[in-house]
Amino acid sequence: MKTTPAKPGASGLAALDYSVLQQCMHCGMCLPVCPTYNETQLERNSPRGRISLMRAIADGELEVTKEFGEEMYYCLGCLACTSACPAGVDYAQMFEVARAEIEEKGVLDNPKRDFIRWSVVKVLFTRPRLLRLVGRGLWLYQVSGAQTAFRRLKLTRLLPKSIRELEPQTPTVKAKFSHQLIRPVETPAAQKEERPRKRVAVLTGCVQDLVFSDINRATVDVLLANNCEVHTPPVQPCCGSLHAHNGDVKSARALARRQLDLMNPFSFDAIISNAGGCGSHLRGYGHLLHDDPEYAERAEEWSRKLRDIHQFLVEIDFRRPLASDEAGPSVTYHESCHLCHAQKVSQQPRTVLRSLPGSELRECSEATWCCGSAGIYNITQPETSARLLERKVGHIRQTGAQVVATANPGCHLQVQNGLRASGDAETRVAHPIVLLAEAYRAEAAATSAQP
């Protein structure tokens, strides 16, 4: 039985410690929780089927082919299999290595795909100022009425089919981005304590920065309300999650180094993430840069300090909002796959939601089941994504809740679009931290109104 890398000097799957590939016992516990296997009932579309393919490639029994590449990109990467696995299989590591080898071998290359990957992954999401410029252009297109006119005149018919189908899902860009709402350093109002209890850095993200800057502002407000000093660099690079999950490890490492140069983890008590997908990748900086002599120590400290906002609040015993005589909305919670399965943060968001005065938390069936967003899965695999979304929206509507809480921008947009498509224009989608910030503001307003 091999327990070392299969071949000295090998790359990709063959270079993995063979014990990682051996972990899978083929017990089948992953099958009931795998969305793609549930869709097709085909072994190759299951985690253990994909692991068998990866192991055969590592052993030199199979080549990396176009069919293998398509299979690995059919996988959502939701990591529900890792939560179900009794053997602790590190599917995430194998998954990312496999995709990197697919890109290295170029088995999926074609001019259209290559241009999109270069323009979006290599260019747009490695340049935060350029991303904001594009975001501002989209905002102008939306607020000027050009988008409305474009749709009313049915000019969408002129678009290629793939883009025409995605156009209704275009997110609404905020008028102000995170750096326009949050100062680089913010300190809490005078408290009983002589100094802030924690000094933290807040990550603003990419899509979150443009489309959900209000969530970042709410995150800072909640931290201030819990007597934390908050540092938020105004221009932050992408965390590299998009790149690592799509086989571009080189760019992911470069972006991690830029992040570590911007925020020294030794200077903070915690590094705060409020996006499930980004947070799961950010926690892996220690592994990503473990062999970098200049950054390994900082990367390890970063991974040790990285906290999801809900996790951090529970750890510091956050202040619950004061009770209110007014009834709050009923809330259900959809779990971001990478928050619950990769970061193992599941109960903490519920603790935050249960603290909301007058609100009722209604559990949603299959709360940990993927909504079909999965990064860019709704773009690359629209049919499977649509079926998963329909299933998710059905369970949400069964709860009768007035608010759907979720903690990842991709999930937020996906669920929002799904509810709208189903004819539900009333159910609100919100981040749990936004709801907590609103509760704090309502409490402050009630207190100031008292004689």
**443-448: long-range pairs with CB below 8 Å, 24+:** 443/321, 443/322, 443/324, 443/357, 446/322, 446/324
Spatial separation of the C-alpha atoms in residues 320 and 308, rounded to whole Å? 18
In a domain, 5, yes or no: no
pLDDT at position 29: 94
pLDDT band at 230 (very low <50, low <70, confident <90, very high): very high
In a domain, 124, yes or no: yes
pLDDT in tens, 102-112: 999 999 999 98
In a domain, 7, yes or no: no
Query: Which residues, in sequence order, are bridge partners of residue 270?
Result: 200
Q: What's the domain count of the chain? A: 4
Q: Are residues 63 and 188 in the same domain?
A: no
Q: Are residues 367 and 424 in the same domain?
A: yes
Q: Are 201 and 231 in contact (CB under 8 A)?
A: yes
Q: Cα–chain-centroid distance for residue 11?
A: 28
Q: Give the domain extent around 372.
A: 330-449
Q: Are residues 186 and 291 in the same domain?
A: yes
In a domain, 2, yes or no: no
pLDDT band at 8 (very low <50, low <70, confident <90, very high): low
Q: Are residues 185 and 265 in the same domain?
A: yes
pLDDT in tens, 163-201: 787 788 889 999 999 999 999 999 998 655 567 789 999
Q: For residue 6, is pLDDT > 50? A: no
Lowest mean pLDDT among 123-127, 198-202, 219-223, 377-381: 377-381
Spatial separation of the C-alpha atoms in residues 54 and 49, rounded to whole Å? 9
Q: Are residues 125 and 197 in the same domain?
A: no
Q: Are residues 245 and 311 in the same domain?
A: yes
Q: What is the mean pLDDT of residues 316-336?
A: 90
Mean pLDDT of the chain: 92
Q: Are residues 350 and 406 in the same domain?
A: yes
Could you say which of 290, 315, 340 is where a domain stops? Answer: 315
CATH number, domain of 71, equals 1.10.1060.10
pTM of the entire predicted model: 0.92
In a domain, 321, yes or no: no
pLDDT in tens, 35-63: 999 999 999 999 999 999 999 999 999 99
Spatial separation of the C-alpha atoms in residues 260 and 2, rounded to whole Å? 36
Q: For residue 3, is pLDDT > 60? A: no
Q: Are residues 444 and 339 in the same domain?
A: yes
Q: Are residues 250 and 152 in the same domain?
A: no
In a domain, 228, yes or no: yes
Q: For residue 14, is pLDDT > 90? A: no
Sheet of 403-405: strand order equals 360-361, 330-333, 403-405, 428-430
Q: Are residues 250 and 277 in the same domain?
A: yes
Could you say which of 282, 315, 348 is where a domain stops? Answer: 315
pLDDT at position 167: 83
CATH number, domain of 430, equals 3.40.50
Q: Cα–chain-centroid distance for residue 347?
A: 17
Could you say which of 315, 341, 363 is where a domain stops? Answer: 315
Q: Are 174 and 209 in contact (CB under 8 A)?
A: no
In a domain, 1, yes or no: no
For the chain, the straight-line distance linking the first and the last C-alpha, in angstroms and rounded, comes to 77
3-state secondary structure of 29: coil
Q: Are residues 191 and 277 in the same domain?
A: yes
In a domain, 240, yes or no: yes
Q: Are residues 21 and 58 in the same domain?
A: yes
